[in-house]
Amino acid sequence: MAPPSTALQVVILAAGQGKRMHSDLPKVLHPLAGRPLLSHVLASARQLDPARLCVVVGHGGDRIRERFAGEALEWVEQGPQLGTGHAVMQALPHLSAGGTILVLYGDVPLIETGTLRALADTASKGALALLTQVLDAPAGYGRIVRDAAGAVARIVEEKDADAHERAIREVNTGILAAPREALGRWLARLGNENAQGEYYLTDVVAAAVDDGTRVEARHPSGARECAGVNSKSELAALERHCQMNQAKRLLEAGVTLADPARIDVRGELECGRDVSIDVNCIFEGRVVLGDGVRIGANCVLREATLGAGCEVKPFTLIEEARIGANARIGPFARIRPGTELAEEVHIGNFVEVKASTLGRGSKANHLAYIGDSSVGRDVNIGAGTITCNYDGARKHRTVIEDDVHIGSDVQLVAPVTVGRGATIAAGATITEDVPPGGLTLTRKEQVTKPGWERPRKK
């Protein structure tokens, strides 16, 4: 056990099965805007610089731990799952004495750091701080019951509420903060005499009132901030909300979006000035677009950096690559991981490039495959050309020096080097190094057989 601390400690409840998701994937691992739900909650919590982050897992706990392996997290197993109060009870022995405990939920991903900070500050002054919300349609939520003076008296779960209590519109979000020692006392007094037979965390409110502790309600800054995910439809609704927020941010930064409702940012998208993005484009991981970049419709960019003035034409996939200024890519091109294209490179329709570098001004405009290759400046690669880089067991490298012209339908069988300024005739199969300059071809003499008849179907 660590020495006593007066700092903030965070407990995130992530043990639920998520039955309504109808999925084998643990609920908190379902992606929202490209990251697991739990990842969003952790990001908000870390902004508070807590002394400890404790995650309570149950169903699918091994998969959750594996997904966040290497991160500075305290893992706690809750088994069996006997309610939210029981979950926090499991976490307490793993927390330092003193300070404030903030309880969050792994399936409430949009919670803002500012809201959490206000809640934690309130609890640090000795109060039990609850995050509550007023809803027009409060069905499904626990209700905040106040006394005649307007102070919070208790929380009643909907299953246990009478008709008068169900008419209350102020609801419990489940998120709370409390002094560590007081929370421990209140949890020790919880019972499970309710419709679910569970230990409700919400019952600490009545315990706090009995102790004479102030119970103070705080409210989120936005309506969606406390929205939880219990079904695929709720997840889809939050996804659209997130994406519209991303689109708004891009528009305010000067990016031109053909349709703000048809862009998906599943990570971090950084744009320079005068960037334009057509419809149905997806950006995953960290993507950087320089000034004047134009992205055509139906493109996917993942972990990529594009220099100023680049144009990406429709239906192009770019993954883990760096593209130089004023390059032109697509349509229907695939740029695979490990590729670096220099300035003014042209990659055309149905061209695939993998783990290769292309120098300034080089072009492969039609139906080519360039893999495990080093291509120099001002190289022209003809239609149908491929680098044969794989022998069935190992990958081999192709080197094409500056100012090479490769005709159509050429096979370059690696390992092979094509010297500077060489020209390779159409249809050649190159299995040996090509010297600089000159014309290299591998054709046999053309032969015609007069009177030959093509076989016909019977």
The residue to which tokens 């706090």 are assigned: 208
Which residues neighbour 124 within 8 Å (Cβ) at sequence distance 6 or greater? 8, 100, 179
* Contact between 436 and 419 (Cβ < 8 Å): yes
Report DSSP state, residue 93. G
Q: Are strands 31-32 and 35-36 parallel, antiparallel or unpaired?
A: antiparallel
Q: 94, 219, 241, 366: which one is catalytic?
A: 366
Residues in the chain: 458
Q: With CA atoms as reference, report the closest residue to 41 among 286, 317, 234, 226.
A: 226
Measured CA to CA, the distance from residue 339 to residue 334 in angstroms comes to 11
Provide the token pair at 360: 């300034």
Q: What are the DSSP calls for 27-43, one per residue?
A: GGGSEETTEEHHHHHHH
160 burial type by CB count under 10 A (0-12 exposed, 13-18 middle, 19+ buried): middle
Cis peptide before 337 (omega within 30 of 0): no
CA trace torsion 88, 94, 96, 101 (10° rounding): -20
Q: Are strands 100-105 and 170-179 parallel, antiparallel or unpaired?
A: antiparallel
* Contact between 131 and 225 (Cβ < 8 Å): no
At 283, phi and psi to the nearest 5? -120, 120
Q: What are the DSSP calls for 265-316, one per residue?
A: EEEEEEE-TT-EE-TTEEEEEEEEE-TT-EE-TT-EEES-EE-TT-EE-SS-
Provide the token pair at 173: 């979000």
Q: Is 421 helix (H, G, I), strand (E, B) or coil?
A: coil
Q: Are strands 152-156 and 143-146 parallel, antiparallel or unpaired?
A: antiparallel
Q: With CA atoms as reference, report the closest residue to 374 among 396, 392, 391.
A: 396
At 440, phi and psi to the nearest 5? -115, 130
94 is annotated as an active-site residue = no
Q: Are strands 276-277 and 294-295 parallel, antiparallel or unpaired?
A: parallel
Measured CA to CA, the distance from residue 305 to residue 323 in angstroms comes to 6
Residues annotated as catalytic (active site), given as ranges: 366
